[in-house]
Structure 1
Amino acid sequence: MSKNNSDQGVLFDLDGTLLDTANDLGAALNHVLEQHEMTQVPPQAFRPVASDGAKGLLELGFGDALTTLDYEQLRQQFLRYYRENIARHTCFYQGIAPLLTALNDNRIPWGVVTNKPIDLTQALLPHYPLFKHCGVTVGGDSLAQRKPHPAPLLYASEQLNLAPEQCIYVGDALRDIQAGNAAKMTTVVAKWGYIADTEVCHSWQADLLAGEPADILEFIL
């Protein structure tokens, strides 16, 4: 993607990229653990796993005990608590609000492509007024495929009336970069997200490693 190109758009992952949702997800995990008299998980342990959603967090909290329990029941307990408390501690990462505002001011379309279930995504976004400018929202179950498959990104670019090559995709997980590369988009690693070791992301073959949201704006404009 070239700079100063009016025919361009930006797609973002959600958890760990635009919004820091880890504390609310961790609270849901610890609620379920408490119901089963299991040891609570501290933030330093659940934050790097937050992008992996209910499955990753339940595996972290329950470990081997998960094989002896009803996983679907635990998942429903997790999702119920999370839905009821979805925006209690969640906030934009520092620098994201100015980035989205700048995209709006420059009339650069943007959207969200996440593996978070679409019903939870649609419940979460209205708590943050900037998302009223979001041009497209694709959840993990919006299509038959989810990231790292490129289909959700290709669908999102189509909804923005842009070719994939005209889009940047920003995410904090390897699956994000794999999906973006497969879709032939320009890929950007959000190093501020849920990455336990930021050195690892140098091997992900992204086009840009962004240390802060302002790096993305500098890259585009």
Structure 2
Amino acid sequence: MLKKPNAMLFDLDGTLLDTAKDLGNALNQILTSLGRATVDHQTYRNIASDGAKGMLELGFGDDLKHFEFDILRQQFLDYYENNICIDTDYFEGVEQLLLALNKKHIPWGIVTNKPAFLTTQLITSFPLLQNCAVVISGDTLSERKPHPLPLLYAEQKLALDSPNTWYIGDAQRDIQSANAANMISVIAEYGYISDLNVTDEWDADLSIHTATDLLTYF
């Protein structure tokens, strides 16, 4: 039986927010501008957690080596920044979960590999996310997930007397980071995972089908 958490930390893309369509829109805008075939939602959805690099690798395949990657990446980020919340929304149950955490005075935060300028823009667009106690982005520190430093730093910022922190994410690097930080690691199965069978190898403490599954534990 898992001990009741006294804090929760979350990944952002694929865990709190479904950002895949807006990331896919950025990719497809670049592909269209170059006269290349676009990628459908079902194909790019499970790559969304890998950010600009993963999306460009998906869209261009082996042809990527014939382009200036840094230029494509900047074009991707520029378009995404200017169209960041067209089709993005909470995953089902996330709002209910966060409201419950607030009501029970359980502090929570966000630890993401997304660059800070994009993280801040998303959080600003969703008022409920502004209640989080700490935000760590991919460029906040010298290391990012799967290194444990971002999670440990976030936990330190929460100033807990006796930490029992849970970290929820949808990628293997999230679970690796949580395990290395000695936190309870939770797989968000509803996120961007192409094959749930592989998650058995991630050595997580818990898997959830929806965000509200976590309500059971506190």
Residue deviations 1:141-161, cap 9 Å, x none? 111101000000000000111
Shift of 1:164: 8.5
- Aligned residue number for residue 31 of structure 1: 29
Q: 1:181 to 1:218 in 2, by over 3 A?
A: same
Identity among equivalent pairs (%): 51
Aligned to 1:17, which of 15, 18, 21?
A: 15
SS of equivalent residue, structure 2 residue 51: helix
1:145 equivalenced with 2:147 (yes/no) = no
- Aligned residue number for residue 72 of structure 2: 74
SS of equivalent residue, structure 1 residue 187: strand
SS of equivalent residue, structure 1 residue 145: coil
Q: CA RMSD in A?
A: 1.2
Structure 1 runs of 4+ aligned residues shifted over 4 Å read: none
TM-score between both structures, scaled by the size of structure 1: 0.96
TM-score between both structures, scaled by the size of structure 2: 0.97
1:55 equivalenced with 2:53 (yes/no) = yes
Structure 2 spans left out of the alignment, 5+ residues:
none
Q: 1:164 to 1:30 in 2, by over 3 A?
A: farther
Structure 1 spans left out of the alignment, 5+ residues:
none
Aligned 8 A contact 1:148 1:176 in 2: yes
Q: What are the residue-to-residue correspondences of 1:207-218 with 2, within 5 Å?
A: 207-218=205-216
SS of equivalent residue, structure 2 residue 86: coil
Query: Partner amino acid for 1:56?
Result: G
Residue deviations 1:151-200, cap 9 Å, x none? 00000000111379510000000000000000000010000000011121
SS of equivalent residue, structure 1 residue 158: helix
Query: Partner amino acid for 2:74?
Result: Q
Distance in 2 between the 1:193 and 1:36 partners? 30
Paired residue total: 217
SS of equivalent residue, structure 1 residue 199: helix
